[in-house]
Amino acid sequence: MQITVKVNGVAHTHDVEPRMLLVHFLRDVLNLTGTHIGCDTSQCGACTVLMNGKAVKSCTVFAVQADGAEITTIEGLARDGQLHPVQEGFWEMHGLQCGYCTPGMIMTAVDLLQRIPNPTEEQIRHYLEGNLCRCTGYQNIVRAVQYAAEKMRA
């Protein structure tokens, strides 16, 4: 099937198998390997991207379902060489160790702050339930999101 997907502001038209997952489309067709794969049951959230502005797990979306959609991946988050406040928060607050869950975690946090600009710690922890991190114990991820929230409100 032919699909056209706008990824990080650029339109891409490709023929794909109907069964191809969006995450494989991004990684293997477009070579955007910043979106990671950590499971096969949609639990880990490493593959989270924004689809039409909302966080989705790209392993749970077929590429054909993204036909006509706008996708933002981790590669498209920084603008004009400026890190997104969430990216900055992860760096400032040591919100990552191995970095494998990080792209998905950041995309979910971006989605969170769009919906709840001033979240409590409990709200942050609840919102990140679909994203697993094995390194940080989440403490500094929470701080990273708080940092970004503050920065974005300023």
Partner 1 sequence: MAVTKLFGASVKRREDPRLITGRGNFTDHIRLPGTLFMALKRSPHAHARIVRVDVSKARAMPGVVAVYTGQDLVDKLAPVPCAWLIPNSDLKVPSYRALAVDKVRYVGDAVAAVVAENRYVAEDALEAIDVEYEVLPAIVDQEQATQDGAPQLYDDVPNNIAFHWKLHAGDFDSAWNQAEVKLSRRLINHRLIPTAMEPRGALAHYNPGTGDLTIWCTSQNPHVHRLLLSAVTGIPETRIRVIATDVGGGFGSKIPMYSGEMLASAISRDLGRPIKWFESRRENYVATTHGRDHIQYVDLAATREGKVTGIRVKSYANLGAYLSTASPGVPTWLFGLMLCGAYAIPAVHVDVFGVVTNTTPTDAYRGAGRPEATYLLERMMDLLARELGMDPADIRRKNFVPKEQFPYTTATGLQYDSGNYEATLDRALELVNYQQLRREQEELRAQGRYLGIGFSTYVEVCGLAPSAAAGAMGFQGGLWESATVRVHPSGKVSVFTGSNPHGQGEETTFAQIVADELGISIDDVEIVHGDTEMIPFGMGTYGSRSLAVGGTAVIMATRKVKEKATKIAAHLLEVAPEDVTFENGRFFVKGAPDRAKTFQEVAGAAYLAWSMPEGVTPGLEETHFHDPINNTFPFGCHICVAEVDADTGKVSFRKYVAVDDVGNVVNPMIVDGQVHGGIAQGLAQAVYEYAAYDENGQLLTATLMDYAVPKASMLPRFDVDRTVTPTPVNPMGAKGAGETGTIASTPAVANAIIDALSPFGIDHLDIPLTPERIWRAVQERRG
Stretch that binds partner 1, among 63-71, 110-118, 132-140, 146-154 (CB under 8 A): 132-140
2-7 vs 54-57, strand pairing mode: unpaired
Q: Which 3 state secondary structure label does DSSP give 109?
A: helix
- Is residue 108 within 8 Å of 128, Cβ to Cβ? yes
- Tell me: does residue 29 bind partner 1 (CB under 8 A): no
Stretch that binds partner 1, among 14-22, 63-71, 110-118, 146-154 (CB under 8 A): 14-22
- Tell me: does residue 48 bind partner 1 (CB under 8 A): no
Is the CB of 9 or the CB of 68 nearer to partner 1?
Answer: 9
- Tell me: does residue 64 bind partner 1 (CB under 8 A): no
Which of 43, 98, 110 has its CA nearest to residue 73?
110
- Tell me: does residue 94 bind partner 1 (CB under 8 A): yes
Number of residues that bind partner 1 (CB under 8 A): 59
- Tell me: does residue 92 bind partner 1 (CB under 8 A): yes
**Partners of 19 in beta bridges:** none
Side by side, which strands form the sheet with 70-72? 10-15, 2-7, 70-72, 48-51, 54-57
At residue 51, φ and ψ (nearest 5 deg) are -120, 120
- What is the binding site for partner 1 (CB under 8 A)? 17, 19-20, 24, 27-28, 31-41, 43-44, 46, 73-75, 77-78, 83, 87, 90-92, 94, 96-103, 106, 121-122, 124-126, 128-129, 131-142
